[in-house]
Chains A and B, each alone.
Chain A
């Protein structure tokens, strides 16, 4: 654009003061007419204040990040918003929880849809956060090629903690309906926790507030689910966002900065006011990569704002439509005396349950329980490795911000192999395990489940 559009020019050429942040036209900040207005928009609009004034084009690319972090944040927003009405309707009591969920399902206006939104968002958030982590790993986006104030490795650590928080949030929400699915999924989950050597039973007791899953468990999980964990996740999320700004945006932008020809700027004239008079001269010659301006960046408002809107609103629309067609299950009321067969943990823990079963060895009458290997040792090692990986990755700075760089081939292959293994085990655990944890191909029917009448 060579000049301002005539309409906006008319608006601004009037008597209106041109102080930054003041504009007589409502919602002007979403459609700034100049770069200066675009910069002002970021400062003066609360919803936009966390954006930089300018964003690298590389950061906005669909195919680099797939906007998975934004999708996760949008799902977190959806979970918060859909959780609020549920907070008014759900009763965290062993006697009444199940009935209150039945009421939400059947007679609360939009209740069934709200619950479906909450549940589907939770499942999708586990997927989105995990995929986000995978993207960051394979693009080595935890590295700091420009040095300076960059501390991306710590944002990576934050991200790992937030993945664990997401899983734990989902897991604590699992118990609340107090149906058979909830009760036994949490039984399986907390039994795995008790296989930690020495202190395992204490961890389980701390987690469920006793030796059996009862009212103390429900209230613990409830408070964790609606207050403690979301609060913690919110704080970490804010810190995560802040660090992205401090680290100079996405790693792909660093790559552009590294590649940019360092142009020699002609020394500019300087004018210094001193006590003795005005000193004139030239500035020192500098060679700098200028990604902040010119071809490599665009105004955050509206370009970044528009794409963020597409992703957030698109996520909301997809979840909203899915929730009309996918109803949330509610099984029989929880019954400690009857174990459903098979009793399964939540799907994102099924790979661990599968490992637990596969590492349980029977020798004669003796059984070596695999709960320690599958429930503690393996996930513990994987999480520890993930956390410290930025310090172990010795690949060159040039390998940052690009998918599957040659210099990182070996670690990417190992990472993806582990990922595929986890996925395969999850699929086996979810779809191919039937009664008594026996293996069934999809075309093999499960034995008929008996009913009362």
Chain B
């Protein structure tokens, strides 16, 4: 007989299992919701509405949807700021509230967003797509947005956005004057005027009485002594206070008090914090010539080749294969023999005079003179004459060399 034994469990367990099922549904709804609830969806919606209002529904179609980013491969930065700051490249939003404001276009002409991204100048966390995390100072992100808000928190004198110049100077650190970075320019002028390098080593020169400041911007905030600093415990605040009165923070320091104004102390703090070992690609550095500059000797040698007595061999193209050392012509390839001794050399190799050989060349020269360098009889006559001149010069130098070797004096070119 097919029977099933009685069990006391189902009566209690079934409702529990049902409750677990409900909890699973709740869990699914919650995590789906938590992935949807980001602020950027609202900002994108709002921006599209504003574009419709200002520019019409057609233009609004061009507004991208979803998470947007600028990937700057050189800097390994993914800046997702444009997910919310969508108006960056749109005309007509110059007076709008953030995040819907157009970026000032002038600076973008020299610093295209595609090449520099956002955070390399503005600071902030490019990875993040939520307002709090992106702008920082979030927990565990030491690069806050260097904007007006932070400037107000530090009571920056005059331009509240001046803190951003710290990031300008990461690339522009070797500039004497950077247009637009007034605070940094002020600080650099102070460094020269007050003679900071008498004690401190900066950018490759200076004294050794004070610490080397070349990479002082990389010093970790934990490495400062805040015992005598009141207020915010930050590296920036420390530097401002220290510039105003070094002895107040470090009692046994020998650094004199320069009686800097608040503005000057803030500018100097920005400058020192900008001295960082940031990985700046070579072509991001302004003012550095992007070429292998020749030395003056190399320039002079090149000029001599082009205008000197051997210039004919250069213009004609002989020098590609042949040096004419007596006339100072050096072949880049040096495939053929030196032409200084051609008058003698041709005779010994082919048993013919140079005139004869050039009139009816054999071997490689037959190919070259019939295809690459085609000379008229008149030009060939010039060639022979030039070769004779070169040989004469060669013999003269040889004689001078022997005489010099005998007298022990230096050889002259």
- A-side interface residues toward B, CB under 8 Å? 1-4, 32-38, 60, 95, 99, 102-103, 105-107, 109-110, 112-113, 179-180, 298-299, 302-303, 306-307, 309-310, 313-314, 316-318, 320-321, 323-324, 329-332, 335, 337-338, 341, 448-453
The answer on a CB contact under 8 Å between A452 and B224 is no
**CB < 8 Å: which of B17, B27, B78 contacts A309?**
B17
A364 to B274, CA, bound (A): 43
Q: Is B273 an interface residue (CB 8 A)?
A: yes
A306 to B30, CA, bound (A): 25
Q: Is B23 an interface residue (CB 8 A)?
A: yes
The answer on a CB contact under 8 Å between A313 and B14 is no
Q: Chain A's nearest CB lies how many Å from the CB of B121?
A: 15
The answer on a CB contact under 8 Å between A299 and B128 is no
The answer on a CB contact under 8 Å between B140 and A317 is no
The answer on a CB contact under 8 Å between B140 and A331 is yes
The answer on a CB contact under 8 Å between B141 and A314 is no
The answer on a CB contact under 8 Å between A306 and B13 is yes
Q: Is B258 an interface residue (CB 8 A)?
A: no
A299-B7, A318-B23 as given contacts; A337 in contact with B220, CB under 8 Å: yes
Q: Chain A's nearest CB lies how many Å from the CB of B37?
A: 10
**CB < 8 Å: which of B9, B20, B144 contacts A60?**
B9
The chain B residue sitting closest to A36, CB to CB, is B2
A144 to B160, CA, bound (A): 78
The answer on a CB contact under 8 Å between A106 and B35 is no
A99-B127, A451-B221 as given contacts; A317 in contact with B23, CB under 8 Å: yes
The answer on a CB contact under 8 Å between B3 and A34 is yes
Q: Which of A4, A329, A338, A452 has the most CB of B within 10 A?
A: A452
A228 to B273, CA, bound (A): 46
Residues from chain B with a CB closer than 8 A to the CB of A3 are 3
Closest 10 CB pairs of A and B: A320-B27, A317-B23, A34-B2, A450-B221, A102-B127, A450-B233, A331-B140, A298-B7, A338-B220, A324-B30
The answer on a CB contact under 8 Å between B80 and A106 is yes
Q: Chain A's nearest CB lies how many Å from the CB of B167?
A: 11
**CB < 8 Å: which of A110, A298, A317, A335 contacts B20?**
A317
Number of chain B residues whose Cβ lies closer than 8 Å to a Cβ of chain A: 53
The answer on a CB contact under 8 Å between B221 and A306 is no
A180 to B133, CA, bound (A): 18
Within 8 A of A (CB), among B72-87: 76, 78, 80
A102 to B129, CA, bound (A): 11
A320-B28, A324-B30 as given contacts; A450 in contact with B235, CB under 8 Å: yes
Q: Chain A's nearest CB lies how many Å from the CB of B400?
A: 62
A32 to B7, CA, bound (A): 13
The answer on a CB contact under 8 Å between A310 and B13 is yes
Within 8 A of A (CB), among B12-61: 13-14, 16-17, 20-21, 23-24, 26-28, 30-31, 34-35
**CB < 8 Å: which of B20, B35, B130 contacts A109?**
B35
The chain B residue sitting closest to A315, CB to CB, is B20
The answer on a CB contact under 8 Å between A320 and B24 is yes
**CB < 8 Å: which of A306, A329, A453 contacts B10?**
A306
A449 to B137, CA, bound (A): 13
Q: Is B222 an interface residue (CB 8 A)?
A: yes
**CB < 8 Å: which of B4, B28, B142 contacts A38?**
B4
**CB < 8 Å: which of B4, B28, B150 contacts A33?**
B4
The answer on a CB contact under 8 Å between A302 and B10 is yes
The answer on a CB contact under 8 Å between A452 and B142 is yes
The answer on a CB contact under 8 Å between A320 and B30 is yes
A110 to B127, CA, bound (A): 16
Residues from chain A with a CB closer than 8 A to the CB of B14 are 306
A107-B80, A332-B142, A450-B234 as given contacts; A33 in contact with B23, CB under 8 Å: no
Q: Chain A's nearest CB lies how many Å from the CB of B186?
A: 19
Residues from chain B with a CB closer than 8 A to the CB of A324 are 27, 30-31, 34
Q: Is B236 an interface residue (CB 8 A)?
A: yes
The chain B residue sitting closest to A339, CB to CB, is B222
The chain B residue sitting closest to A304, CB to CB, is B9
Residues from chain B with a CB closer than 8 A to the CB of A448 are 233
